[in-house]
Structure 1
Amino acid sequence: MRQSEIIAEVSNDKKTLFAIVEQDERVVYLYIYAREDLRERFPRMRGCWVRNLSPAPQQDDSEALAHGLPPMLAAQYCRSLEAEAPLDPAGIQILWNESDDGAALWYHGLLLAVIPGWSLYIDHSVSYSAGCIQQNPLTFPLGSASTNTQYALADKTRQFWRDWAHEEHNPWPKIQRNFVACYEQRFGPAVKYYAIDQGTWPPMAISQHEDEENYYFFTMGMSIRPMPQIELIFNDEAEHYRRIELAFAVGKEYVDEANAVQMASAISSYAQLPWESLTWLGEGHTLVSQAAPLGYEGHIISSALGASVGKFALPGCYGDPVTLLWASPLFASELEFAQSRPNGGQELVAMMTEAGVEAVFAPRAPLV
């Protein structure tokens, strides 16, 4: 029997995950596996049967499983009962989804298989294959864009990457203008602009504003990508949580501009966190940062704390609303409190609101 061969391999944007297409003389599979340092969190490789390269067996391929080989799909589940042609590496395109945790296999422009990002976070593999016509232990039918959301999402993702690949369709200038205009309408003209993407995709920046009393800093570009895990956690409500931007503000009576910029660098480091760690950020989440003000250990992020500066809506991104989360410095005891109990962060936000802590940072005493 011919040794199994990897005929395509593509990492995601942050190189946290790798997708491979593997085939031998019997069968083709798409797999996703985690980088070595993430294997403790994501120990299981996710697999999707793509096609049989030998005639489909009449029964489940238990013999292959017994020998540690990828099983063929039984005939009752297959679109084609005959042996299909091996894949030509030159025709393969693997596209990662926008949240950087799921992948689709395209072959000469046809969609063959999808492993959705949310399947990474559950205890069993879920995948969709164009060659499958009936649900089975190996995969689900992929169907069409009109019958399967996963197909429609994969098609949408392909258009997303096409837009970013062509300079004339580059969405960034419009996104950038919309966010700067929004921030300027509420906080006055931008006085400085900092690129925080290190020249990589997606473009991200911080816009600095000020009034007579405060310095304000706002990210833009985070919301280009939906965050990982959101689809699984919030299901039908996911669109309200998957795209965010971050903000930080500090009073001028406490710091000069250089110190304010240093403090604001914390939101720059947080801006990449969801995709670097395959996680998400939301109301009441806490984060540790060396850029926190002296005596503080990190931040809590919250839209509720922004009530003191007035509610204002950010521009939508790719049809979704975007949530602005304000970063407020925390003492070590407050971090420990928030992280020691379920919903501790939201409890802490409520305590901070009751104590009069606002979005604009000012020195204060610990609440815990």
Structure 2
Amino acid sequence: MAAASILLDESSPYRSRRVIVERGPGATAAYLLNAQGRIRVPVWLANHEPAPATGDPASLYQGEAPLMPAAHTKHPQGRPPVEAARVRAVWFEEGDGVALLEDGELLAVIPGWAEADRGLPGYARDAVGHTPYAWALDTAPEQLRSRVFHARSYWHWRSTPDAWRSVQRAVFNHLNRTVGPSGHYWDISDGYPPLLRVSERPPTERRPYTVLSTVGMCGQRMPTVERYLADPSPYARVELALATTGEPHLAARIFRWIGTFPWRAVTWFGPGHSVKWLDNPEDAALRGEYSAVLLVADPTPLGGEQYPPPATFGLTFHGDPVTWLWIVPLTRSQRLFAKENDAATVLDKLAAEGRSWVLP
């Protein structure tokens, strides 16, 4: 960043995004950065001196707040400087977008789907029309304002003592009903939200395998879903699970990285998605020759006639359905095949190879 006054510098609760509000000599701008510190989305906020007739937005990408051209600001003569004590950030539940408030009123919104490289900057209250600097907040979809209201309510709820317990109870009781009695219960959190646990469901008379399931992923919506789907609700909340006849405590180690992956990598998990297996020694015993995992909503085609998977559907959280995605390891060649074909074709191929959804 160039020499300037930093009014706000705050990371998202998931530590995968960071917002900086910077006041330069003549203007104030905000920058949404990734975890590596690279500017993803800059957005102009206000001019503090008379606006020029034209301008060059390139300095936004260099961390320098430019002056908005006169035709595109509500205050062509400038407005009083933005003050640090009057600005705060409200992160979206997913952690991929942020709203900026000045004295409690919307100053700007950088949605999770904003991408400056594609001509989609954030929205600013003082902007007029659509420019590379910012889009007018007046023209923002009404649901964007609703999202900000939801975000404030969500983080208020998360700050209450019973919030995390309510997530645990909802998932744990659902597993009791749909999978069976519980066994061990492991904490796999890494010190930052989301808080996560793994619940073991030992074999029963009806199934000779152990089920391991995350507990807590559904407590927050996954990032970026709305980039790809008009209605993210059916896909926004998941839990992950796997079935194994091996040592549960060894198999459970995979959840330490994959459970938080959507929020750390700012991505989402959906049925049929494949995820590269992170190279770490902790779950090497389970990884073996595999290089990725396939996430499957219904693993029945992979030997489910012999060992039917539990019917885990039926849970909702904050109005969204929760989908359980089952982990099926993939070799390198299988992953390459999965990247080029749809989930049904991949499952057909794995079934033809004799693969089972139950891990040894």
Give the TM-score normalised by structure 2: 0.84
Name which of structure 1's ranges 313-322 and 119-128 shifts more when overlaid on structure 2. 119-128
User: Which residue pairs with 1:315 in the alignment?
Assistant: 315
Alignment of 1:312-351 (within 5 A): 312-339=312-339, 342-343=340-341, 346-351=344-349
SS at match of 1:80: coil
| 2:146 paired with 1:152 | yes
Residue 144 of structure 1, CA deviation: 8.9
How many pairs are equivalent?
Answer: 342
Q: Percent identity?
A: 25
- In structure 2, stretches of 5+ residues that fail to align are 279-283
Task: Look up the equivalent residue of 1:149 and give its one-letter code.
Answer: Q
Alpha carbons of 1:136 and 1:305: their partners in 2 closer, same or farther (altered >3 Å)? same
Work out the CA distance in 2 between the residues paired with 1:267 and 1:333. Answer: 23
What is the CA–CA distance in structure 2 between the aligned matches of 1:216 and 1:242, rounded to whole Å?
Answer: 23
Q: 1:104 to 1:63 in 2, by over 3 A?
A: closer
Partner residue in 2 for 1:243:
237
Q: What does 1:20-169 correspond to in 2, within 5 Å?
A: 20-36=20-36, 39=38, 44-57=39-52, 59-62=53-56, 70-120=65-115, 123-143=118-138, 148-167=142-161
In structure 1, the gaps of 5 or more residues are 363-368
Q: Which residue is 2:281 aligned to?
A: none
Match for residue 352 of structure 1 among 350, 353, 359: 350
Q: Contact 1:292/1:298 (CA < 8 Å) preserved in 2?
A: no
In the TM superposition, what is the alpha-carbon distance from 1:345 to its structure 2 partner? Answer: 5.3
1:286 deviates by: 3.6
What CA distance in whole angstroms lies between the structure 2 residues aligned with 1:105 and 1:260?
45
C-alpha RMSD of the superposition: 2.9
Normalised TM-score (structure 1): 0.82
Asked whether the equivalents of residues 119 and 132 of structure 2 are also in contact (C-alpha less than 8 Å), the reply is no
In the alignment, the residues of structure 1 paired with residue 142 and residue 128 of structure 2 have an alpha-carbon distance, to the nearest angstrom, of: 12
Q: Distance in 1 between matches of 2:163 and 2:258?
A: 23
Q: How does 1:172-191 map to 2 (within 5 A)?
A: 172-191=164-183
Shift of 1:122: 5.5
Go from structure 1 to structure 2 and tell me whether the alpha carbon gap of 1:180 and 1:65 turns closer, same or farther (over 3 Å shift).
Answer: closer
* Aligned residue number for residue 280 of structure 1: 268
**1-side partners of 2:330 and 2:286: how far apart?**
8
Q: CA deviation at 1:333?
A: 3.6
Residue identity opposite 1:126 in structure 2: P
- Superposed displacement of residue 325, structure 1: 0.6
**Which residue of the other structure, out of 198, 201, 204, is the alignment partner of 1:206?**
198
Structure 1 residues 301, 310: CA separation in 2 closer, same or farther (over 3 Å shift)?
A: same
Alpha carbons 2:179, 2:312 under 8 Å: kept? no
- Indicate how the Cα distance of structure 1 residues 18 and 304 shifts in structure 2: closer, same or farther if over 3 A, else same: same
What SS class does the counterpart of residue 31 from structure 1 fall into? strand
- Deviation of the 1:55 alpha carbon: 3.0
Q: 1:64–1:352: structure 2 CA closer, same or farther, 3 Å change rule?
A: closer
In 1, Cα distance between the equivalents of 2:292 and 2:252?
A: 12
1: CA distance, partners of 2:58 / 2:209: 66
Q: CA deviation at 1:88?
A: 1.7
- Which residue of 2 is the match for residue 365 of structure 1? none
Structure 2 residue identity aligned to 1:70: A
Work out whether residues 16 and 34 of structure 2, in 8 Å CA contact, stay in contact via their aligned partners in 1: yes
